[in-house]
Chain A
Amino acid sequence: MNRISPSKPVVWTGYNFAYLDEQTKRMVRRALLKALAIPGYQVAFGGREMPLAYGWGTGAIQVTASIIGPRDRLKVIDQGSDDATNAASIRRFFRSVTGVETTASALDATIVQTRHRIPETPLRENQVLVYQVPSPEPLRKIEPRESETRKMHAYAEYGPMLLTLYEDIARYGRVASAYNCPVIVNERYLASPSPIPKFDNPKLSHSPAIQLFGAGREKRIYAIPPYTSVRSLDFEDFPFEPSRPDGRCSLCGSETSYLEEVIMDDVGGRMFVCSDTDYCRRRREGKGEGPVRAARAKA
């Protein structure tokens, strides 16, 4: 028997295309179709154990594995970066079990699997964005019982969720959450956008791309079909504000992209760079990402 050599990423033999057997893929696809038919509704699915740990993207991996075909081009990002270790690990997994082409370019990819960011480059029709979701239930913080949160969704009882926003404003003068800010999908279901910064929330709405959300440990799938309204929870007099760090990217000069803080030394020196490494690289190379799309920034 050959050992799976860690140093040689090859296409594994002895496993089905994309690891999952076809029956399991069909089961996942059925869940995806249901999720697309009821935007924002969490569909329970028979999640399988994957060879990557729960919490590390197993839900999204099962979603990707169920929709990927030999001609797809896959991009995987973590915190906006293609080269983060977990993104690299997932990309390598899919290369090993599918042999498909992978890419860092959001323009070329047909499927983008992401953790914690939405690419700066606007997505198009015929692209699928697959989110890794650690905790799909936005109500879990206020109601630990699954049997109860299911009913709250069924009866659209979202008053208690609004109450948490109310309390933030009463205490801090504003809504005190900066990421994973819950949204109402298609004016019906409350959903978690996954832990993306609230800067990214507006990109969820009316996107031409299909957005799929996979939570492996909790065994839930939900979706936002193309061109669907997604409203971030807020009050009329305290409207949702997608904020970004002030300043411009030290590398590409973007003033509208989402920036990541990099600590330069131990005496407070820091700089800001684009968290989306593909977008930043293409701007530096002068490839088409000229005046970036208007994100509502403080400028």
Chain B
Amino acid sequence: MAHVAINGGEEAILKSQTLVAEQRRGDVAVPEITLAQIASQLGLAVDRVMSEGSLYDRDLAALALKQAQGDALEAIFLLRAYRTTLPRIAASEPIDTSTMTVRRRVSATFKDVPGGQVLGATYDYTHRLLDFALSETADDAPRADVSAEPLDARMPSALDPLVSDGLIEEEIRSDAEAYDLTREPLCLPAGRDQRLQNLARGDEGFLLGLAYSSARGYGSVHPFVGELRAGEVTIQITPEELGFPIDIADIGVTECQMINQLHADPDDLPRFTRGYGLAFGHCERKTIAMALVDRAMRAAEFGEKVEHPAQNEEFVLSHSDSVEASGFVSHFKLPHYVDFQAETRLLRELRARARSEGEGEPSS
């Protein structure tokens, strides 16, 4: 019957899902991709899915990417939905990035810093030329040289000298329990803990665009990357029954400490201000963008005029989450027969009314 084109919905869904499964598998002449291949060879994609999926698990992130046919946002969504079902066993101690096992560490503000600049692995200085050699699988894996000397065990923040000279605002330490957006809804106006968690989970593309806008003129950000570091940090928890912290895992993180424009409190000396970014895995673009947007949103705190999107906390925090955004944007393809037809009928009535009025009296 024509009028129930949507009927058979349940069966159609099942068939559609089988079709998805078939397309996901692709050409059966090609071997099926393994999670190990994804986890080890598409590592940056895995890092992004873990960060924005708010779950540090390389295998699950690889599974999500496989299931989503490589669609990062779909994979993030899968991981978030799975995360919902996990019990919370403990809250970790804050990580200490000064004890990071550094793989890469650069400062744009000091030529030499205690611990030295560590270029590490970066695409920054690769020429973006398609490497046709990669079209074939190679028998021998490339190996980078290992330095004879280990890196300095101690690698303090490159911003420390500025702190001791009082040239930059102090980091605010707080023992208060951090807001947890995965348990509580966004609450505005938001504290910095809420903002940073929101940004860490926020869509990289959205943050990148906002950060770009804030630095390009739609914001008053004048940033310097004080330090960018990536590597492994140790996660500790303090079980109640023990009363002291124990190591439970090492995780990869990237951290960006941004130095920003001056601010002078009325009764204090002017100082540099900070923006902060941190996310799972290796994701420099994301953390730099995060640090820029974090600083932009602090505009009101420093008495700057809030006039651009990146400075508007409600605007940024309400729209950064890709799971929320993509759900809402794609829901417009759901049927809207009832509201659309009600609207159409109203339109017809309004048109009829306008037409009859036009006929009834000469327009004055």
Contact = CB atoms under 8 A, between A and B. Distances in A.
- In the complex they form, whether A and B have CB atoms below 8 Å apart is answered with yes
Interface stretch (B9-17, B90-98, B217-225, B288-296): B9-17
Interface string B124-142: 0000000000000000000
Contacts, number: 165
A18 B338 CA distance: 29
B188 A146 contact: yes
Contacts of B183: 46
Interface string A149-178: 000000000000000000000001110111
Contact of B85 (A16, A47, A53, A180): A16
B338 A85 contact: no
Contacts of B186: 219
Contacts of A53: 77, 323, 326-327, 330-331
A116 B18 contact: no
Interface string B79-113: 01101110100000000000000000000000000
B328 A55 contact: yes
A122 interface: no
B269 interface: no
Contact of A81 (B6, B87, B336): B6
Contact of B337 (A9, A58, A180, A260): A260
Which of B13, B77, B324: most chain A CB closer than 10 A? B324
B236 to A, nearest CB: 25
Nearest to B312: A145
A176 B77 CA distance: 37
Given A55-B328, A83-B7, A262-B3, A46 B184 contact: yes
Nearest to B326: A53
Contacts of A267: none
Contacts of A296: none
B335 A79 contact: yes
A290 interface: no
A291 to B, nearest CB: 24
B353 interface: yes
Interface of B is mostly: helix
A56 B327 contact: yes
Q: Please classify how large the interface on chain A is, using the bins under 10, 10 to 19, 20 to 34, 35 or more.
A: 35 or more
B307 interface: no
A273 B81 contact: no
A179 B81 CA distance: 31
Interface stretch (B165-173, B238-246, B259-267, B340-348): B340-348
B21 interface: yes
A50 B81 contact: yes
B87 A87 contact: no
Interface in B210-250: none
Contact of B13 (A46, A79, A92, A260): A92
Interface in A167-217: 172-174, 176-180, 195-199, 217
B364 to A, nearest CB: 16
A21 interface: yes
Given A15-B85, A197-B338, A260-B338, A56 B17 contact: no
A119 interface: no
B328 A243 contact: no
A86 B4 CA distance: 14
A217 B323 CA distance: 9
B84 A20 contact: yes
Contacts of A172: 350, 353
Nearest to B185: A219
A271 B9 CA distance: 22
Nearest to A195: B339
B187 interface: yes
A39 interface: no
B318 interface: yes
B339 A275 contact: no
B146 interface: no
A88 B9 contact: yes
B57 interface: no
Interface centre among A58, A79, A147 (most CB of B within 10 A): A79
Interface in B302-325: 314, 318, 323-324
A283 to B, nearest CB: 15
A53 B334 CA distance: 11
A91 B10 contact: yes
B185 A45 contact: yes
Nearest to A62: B84
Contacts of A286: none
B311 to A, nearest CB: 14
A54 interface: yes
Contact of A275 (B12, B84, B338): B338
B342 to A, nearest CB: 4
B318 A146 contact: yes
B150 interface: no
Nearest to A175: B346
B77 A49 contact: yes
Given A48-B84, A83-B4, A176-B346, 13 more contacts: A44-B184, A56-B334, A81-B4, A83-B8, A85-B12, A91-B10, A92-B10, A117-B338, A172-B350, A179-B339, A180-B339, A199-B342, A262-B2
8 contacts: A7-B18, A16-B85, A79-B337, A91-B10, A197-B338, A217-B328, A260-B341, A261-B341
